[in-house]
Amino acid sequence: MSDLHFEQGFAGEWMNQYEKWPLTGWPVKAPYLILAGDIGRAVKHFDQLRSFLAKRCDEYQRVFYLLGSKEFPNKENLDHAAVIQKVWSLTKESRMRGRLIFLDRIRYDLRDNGAFISILG
């Protein structure tokens, strides 16, 4: 999935879109979820993003997260490297259960049903 744009509000008002994830309660049909950018603001909504990712890590064996252009703007004026470092810190949190894979200049290899898969990010 990509371009969820949780940073956008409704009629100009920001609402916690992270909590209104439309697929909550739906049966999980795949072991992996790829969140391929433009999910929301990585710094401004850091706590909401953290909770959202932790819930997805409860539902999936692996959650692959890739930053898009919308993740970077922030009032703290952090540069890209600082934003990336902040997101990397999430992968080490116990709430993520070792399931969050941040795709930033890495290759992640996995085997699934006899297939060898490499994911680049």
Over the stretch 92-102, which tens digit does the pLDDT of each residue have? 999 999 999 99
Half-sphere exposure of 79 (CA within 13 A, CB side): 1
Tokens of 3: 């371009």
Q: What's the whole-model pTM score?
A: 0.83
Q: What is the rounded distance in angstroms from the CA atom of residue 33 to the CA atom of residue 30?
A: 7
Residues 61/31, Cβ–Cβ less than 8 Å: yes
% of the chain at pLDDT higher than 90? 40
Q: How far is CA 63 from CA 22, 51, 117, in A?
A: 17, 13, 15
| pLDDT 10s digits, 70-92 | 677 666 677 888 888 998 999 99
